[in-house]
């Protein structure tokens, strides 16, 4: 049987580490040529080297998702390298917890800019090409915080709910061109992002980091964390022909944490 994503070109934003790195490796493992983009150029280089070392064709571009110019230059570089763009995974994101009354305008703006505007900017950078090709798959990483509110995360939740609304709307806009648009809502993945959250929880509750982690896991019905490769498996499925009739959906990959 042919690999699921043979000859497909897949861009993963923010894939210098964390979930994005896992998504890129999963897509590459299913046969895609992978484009690593991240605001941090050092991370881009080391991920590309790693993927090459495991036999995956990878190309790296430094890219800030908040910038239209950076997105356009990134898409142009990918087309120059591979001639096409079949899959975009909008993964780059930031997080944080702060009560609304203490939140600065800068904290709010940064969250919306990276997590929501970044999805819009990067999707727009590839949408014309996908329309012209007559196929494509755009997958954006939302969150369980895009399904229900979380305390002290008004900015993060607003951005992640926004990603789902954006995806549904764009799915309708691009359906006639056979471009599918979906979202994935990860649960709890212990990346650098969660290390910061655990430090905050441990300080707020006066418990150790590992106690904070144990308490966090106890709230997941399957009683285990999600791994970057779990999110990668979902992305590979949504990108592949197996999902050819799936568009405008948001898929929870969260051990049963959210059920709608």
Ligand X SMILES: NC(=O)c1ccc[n+]([C@@H]2O[C@H](COP(=O)([O-])OP(=O)(O)OC[C@H]3O[C@@H](n4cnc5c(N)ncnc54)[C@H](O)[C@@H]3O)[C@@H](O)[C@H]2O)c1
Cα distances from 246 to residues 68, 93, 168, in angstroms, run 28, 24, 11
- Point out which span in 85-93, 175-183, 199-207, 216-224 binds ligand X (CB under 6 A): 85-93
Tell me whether residue 8 or residue 13 sits nearer to ligand X (CB atom): 13
Answer yes or no whether residue 240 interacts with ligand X by CB under 6 A: no
- What part of residues 26-45 is at the interface with ligand X (CB under 6 A)? 38-40, 43
* # residues contacting ligand X (CB under 6 A): 31
Please tell me whether residue 13 binds ligand X under the rule CB under 6 A: yes
Number of helical H runs and strand E runs in the chain: 9, 7
> What is residue 167's three-state secondary structure?
helix
Yes or no: say if 246 and 181 are a contact pair by the CB < 8 Å rule.
Answer: no
Does residue 193 bind ligand X (CB under 6 A)? yes
Under DSSP, the state recorded for 145 is G
Backbone angles phi, psi at 62, to 5 degrees: -70, 135
Residues 6+ apart with CB under 8 A from 193: 18, 93, 94, 95
| 95 or 182: CB nearest ligand X | 95
Collect all residues with Cβ–Cβ distance below 8 Å to 119 and sequence separation of at least 6.
65, 90, 140, 163, 166
Binding mask 123-152 for ligand X (x = CB under 6 A): ------------------x-x---------
Instruction: Determine the interface stretch with ligand X among 14-22, 26-34, 130-138, 242-250 (rule: CB under 6 A).
Output: 14-22
Residue 31 vs 238, nearer CB to ligand X: 238
Candidates 74-82, 90-98, 131-139, 203-211: pick the segment binding ligand X (CB under 6 A). 90-98
Plot region of 248 (φ>0 → left; ψ -120 to 50 → alpha; else → beta)? left
The residue ranges that bind ligand X (CB under 6 A) are 13-14, 16-20, 38-40, 43, 63-66, 91-95, 114, 118, 141, 143, 186, 188-189, 191-194
């Amino acid at each position: 049987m042919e690999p699921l994503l043979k000859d497909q070109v897949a861009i993963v934003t923010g894939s210098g580490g964390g979930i994005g790195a896992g998504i890129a490796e999963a897509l590459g493992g299913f046969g895609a040529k992978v484009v690593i983009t991240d605001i941090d150029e050092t991370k881009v280089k080391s991920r590309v080297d790693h993927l090459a070392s495991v036999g995956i064709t990878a190309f790296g571009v430094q890219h800030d998702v908040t910038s239209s110019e950076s997105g356009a230059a990134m898409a142009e570089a990918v087309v120059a390298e591979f001639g096409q763009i079949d899959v975009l995974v909008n993964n780059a994101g930031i997080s944080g917890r702060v009560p609304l009354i203490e939140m600065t305008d800068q904290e709010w703006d940064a969250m919306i800019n990276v997590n929501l505007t970044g999805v819009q900017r990067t999707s727009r950078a590839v949408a014309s090409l996908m329309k012209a090709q007559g196929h494509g798959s755009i997958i954006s990483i939302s969150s369980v915080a895009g399904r229900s509110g979380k305390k002290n995360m008004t900015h993060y939740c607003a951005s992640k709910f926004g990603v789902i609304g954006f995806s549904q709307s764009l799915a309708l806009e691009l359906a006639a061109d056979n471009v599918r648009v979906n979202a994935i809502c990860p649960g709890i993945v212990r990346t650098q992002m969660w290390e910061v959250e655990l430090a905050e929880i441990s300080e707020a509750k006066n418990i150790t980091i590992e106690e904070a982690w144990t308490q966090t896991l106890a709230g997941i019905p399957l009683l285990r964390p999600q791994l970057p490769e779990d999110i990668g498996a979902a992305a590979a499925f949504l990108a592949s022909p197996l999902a050819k009739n799936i568009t405008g959906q948001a898929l929870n990959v969260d051990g049963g944490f959210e059920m709608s």
